[in-house]
Structure 1
């Protein structure tokens, strides 16, 4: 009994540490997700559309047209949905080749940046954990997160991607809270 209690506590601690790392990194999140999942991920675009200029998008965010993109990242082999992502693209502040790649919906934004060799930096502005029913998009509207079997609060991170002096993309990413548990179960099944 003590061993199983210790193992559960160790597993919970490991999961907490890895999710915390995911929330604070300002590097390529997709790379970290692939490492944690131990497989490549593919993007499935749920919706992508041009939106009207919003009066809330002033100052450094002004200069539409604006595009909203909602997608999920899914493990290629397992089909496990690891993240639900909402991006607001400020098209005037994104390199043209990258914008074209995003518009074709074939890759995740991070993969597109990497494959094109575009220089960027990220600034994390918010992160934490929310209950599923508290999940909202970038306009504070409720969002239906595409995760199954949710039993825990959902980790999220909101950040800006810069390709110059002004942000080009604002991202809000929700991560499946059972990502680490899923990976551990996959490893146990192999043995």
Structure 2
């Protein structure tokens, strides 16, 4: 009994440490998620469209448009586990044209596109924490349906800006699957068990 209590406590501490790091890092989140999942991550774009002037005004932005919104999920290539649900607001005038073109083609995640082009960026985290599924919203405070099945815990999230110069080019809102660490631990135990049986 003591062992299982200790293991549960150790798991909770590990879970907390990893999410603390994930929510404050200003590095490429996709790299960390791939390491956590032990799987290559692919992007599935749910929607990508230009936003109207009314929504741009809600963001407090009146120049620098057109603006595009992109909603996507990141999924483990082999496991098919959905690790994050992301919303990006792209300020087209402040994004290098080569990157904007890659984003428009919807083939890869924004972080991977930035890396593949060798671009220097600065990221500034402005908000992070945990919220109930019912509280999840987009940039315009409209409710969104998070694409995580069987949610039982609060959803970790992070909002940050990506700068390519003096003004931010992209604002990101990322919701992370709260069970990613449990999924990885289960995957590790399954692999260990199958290795014992061989």
Same fold (TM over 0.5): yes
Which residue in the other structure is 1:3 paired with? Answer: 3
- 1:101-154 per-residue CA deviation (whole Å, 9 max, x = no partner) reads 000000000000000111111000000000000000011110100001111000
- 1:144-180 per-residue CA deviation (whole Å, 9 max, x = no partner) reads 0000111100000000000000000000000000000
Give, in whole Å, the separation in 2 of the partners of 1:119 and 1:62. 24
Runs of 4+ displaced beyond 2 Å: 56-59
Which residue in the other structure is 1:185 paired with? Answer: 186
After superposition, residues 13-24 of structure 1 pair within 5 angstroms as 13-24=13-24
Give, in whole Å, the separation in 2 of the partners of 1:182 and 1:167. 34
Give, in whole Å, the separation in 1 of the partners of 2:174 and 2:10. 26
| TM-score for both structures, normalised by structure 2 | 0.94
Give, in whole Å, the separation in 2 of the partners of 1:43 and 1:133. 24
Give, in whole Å, the separation in 2 of the partners of 1:166 and 1:56. 18
| Structure 2 unaligned residues grouped into runs of 5+ | 193-198
Which residue in the other structure is 1:128 paired with? Answer: 129
RMSD (CA atoms): 0.9
Give, in whole Å, the separation in 2 of the partners of 1:44 and 1:62. 30
Deviation at 1:55, TM superposition (A): 1.5
Decide which of 42, 49, 55 is 2:57's aligned counterpart.
Answer: 55
Deviation at 1:41, TM superposition (A): 0.3
- Which segment is superposed worse, 45-54 or 157-166? 45-54
Give, in whole Å, the separation in 2 of the partners of 1:52 and 1:183. 41
| Structure 1 unaligned residues grouped into runs of 5+ | none
3-state secondary structure, aligned to 1:183: helix
Give, in whole Å, the separation in 2 of the partners of 1:72 and 1:129. 18
Residues 133, 154 of structure 2: 8 Å contact kept: yes
Give, in whole Å, the separation in 2 of the partners of 1:57 and 1:9. 42
Give, in whole Å, the separation in 2 of the partners of 1:153 and 1:94. 33
| TM-score for both structures, normalised by structure 1 | 0.97
After superposition, residues 1-191 of structure 1 pair within 5 angstroms as 1-53=1-53, 54-58=56-60, 62-191=63-192
Give, in whole Å, the separation in 2 of the partners of 1:10 and 1:93. 44
Residues 59, 140 of structure 2: 8 Å contact kept: no
- Which segment is superposed worse, 47-56 or 89-98? 47-56
Count of residues in correspondence between the two structures? 190
Deviation at 1:63, TM superposition (A): 1.1
